[in-house]
Amino acid sequence: MKITPENLTPSPDLNGLCAAELLAVIAGFQQQLALKDEAIQRRDAHILLLEELLRLRRIQRFAASSEKLHQLQLFDEAEQEAEIDSLLAQLPNDLPQTAEPTVEAKAKPRQRGFSASLLRERIELTLSDEQKVGASKVFFTKVKEELQFIPAQLKVLEIWQEKAVFERDGEEVIIAANRPVHPLGKCIATPSLLGYIITSKYADGLPLYRLEQMFKRLGQEVSRTSMAHWIIRLDEVFQPLMNLLREEQNNATYLQADETRIQVLKEEGKTAQSDKWMWVTRGGPPGRPSVLFEYDPSRAGSVPVRLLDGFSGILQADGYSGYSQVCKESGLTRIGCWDHARRKFIEATQAAPSVAKGKSKPGASKADVALGYIGKLYAIEREQKERSDAERYQARQTRSVPLLAELKTWLDNNVGKVMKGSLTRQAMEYTLGQWPYLVGYCERGDLHISNVLAENAIRPFAVGRKAWLFADSAQGAKASATCYSLLETAKANDLEPSAYINHVLAQIGEADSLEKLEALLPWNVPLEPIAKKVAQYNEGK
């Protein structure tokens, strides 16, 4: 807009004003300046928050996503590590002067030779008869071992049933040999092929369209539609076993829970783009852990109420409010997850502005200090990892509880000194809001400082989701939850997942009683644990 005398704000005529009137005008100007300064400060604070969020989003999109960040792993320079320790030492309430255990990096043993469980074939390199003429002795020495790959192949099993004809009372009676019970009845896929499809998709993250291409290269087209249909039909077959696993899990005194998004294209009452949820609960009686996935289009608190029906004990989860309903209705004790609190402080340090080249590095931030405290809590847990529950409980009471009290005091004293809305302020407020739950792990020695076991169980689903992207229907999502449950429960019981799922598929068709179903639970099957196989391999080397 062009500036003209007409659109200029006229200056007040100060001529003829008395001293009191001049002071009033000056006070008005000062008030206007103060309001403008306040608006500028709000704008600058908003810009700082936006820049912080922008840096975080760039890091989340382009940088490595590892969360293995502790106090001493946040910095590249030893001087900064020392600076944090110095700052912690200057706090009003000093941290307990307990030496952290030295964690020595264990070198991974070099594998020598091959597993004794592998099929072996002897290849003899012989001398010719002319070369052996006149030799006093001939013998063989093993000069090397090589690992050979035998490509997968498809084989057609022709099922021929023998029948006998008898003449009885002038009529022919035919008796046929018994046929093995197939879990799906009429199906062209053997239980072993069904097991391979389930393992490939849900343990190895291969979407069905890739399996379709692989089977075509092997000489037979197996459509992804057929494979999806088989998996959905198997969900009904597996349901009695899943009911037993859920009942067994809810008999425990300690469970962990988590949930993650899943896209389902065809869900009644919801759009394809809307969020649906895969819920996970992990735990069980001693020696009988299970990992159970459950699909539900809702994230409401009624879902964990349904899943944890009959459970009474301690529930560990993140800060999501949806778990409050089941804790209230079932009288559960809820404890929190320090991984979630720590992750928020890590994001705050990652989003901190970078230091320009040639400038001195700033001092340790409040997020760094909080991570220093949290790192010491985790160090205590690492030291007590191999100890008994009683020893772990004692260490927490004598070392972790005082450290937690120091951290709580520091958070209370410093949360008001951090800019509202910043990632550091959000992390501090989240930790204080979750404090009654975060300190709960110290009440028993068998509890965990974080919900990491449930998160580790849900990780294969998150990885596989990047490959297959979505489920077509609610039936497919439910069937996927069942397959993930069986495979992850096998892992939790130290069983090779493909061996377990193949064993279940081979036997479940004839499991027509409760006793036969219970025999298929992972802690009852006659399969060798992975740890035992590894020990046998190490002994045989």
> pLDDT tens digits, residue range 289-347?
999 999 998 888 899 999 999 899 999 988 888 898 999 998 999 999 999 899 999 88
Q: For residue 11, give both structure tokens.
A: 């200056």
Contact yes or no for 316/451 (Cβ under 8 A): yes
Asked if residue 75 has pLDDT above 50, the reply is no
Structure confidence by residue, pLDDT tens digits, 400-415: 999 999 999 999 999 8
Q: How far is CA 206 from CA 165, 213, 322, 456, 464, in A?
A: 49, 11, 32, 19, 7
Band the pLDDT of 454: cuts 50, 70, 90.
confident
Q: How far is CA 259 from CA 319, 431, 457, 461, in A?
A: 12, 20, 11, 11
Measured distance CA(477)–CA(298) in Å, rounded:
13
Report helix, strand or coil for 87: helix
Most distant CA atoms of the chain, gap in Å: 139
pTM of the model: 0.75
Measured distance CA(379)–CA(383) in Å, rounded:
6
Worst-scoring range by mean pLDDT, 62-66, 230-234, 237-241, 250-254?
A: 62-66
Contact yes or no for 308/282 (Cβ under 8 A): no
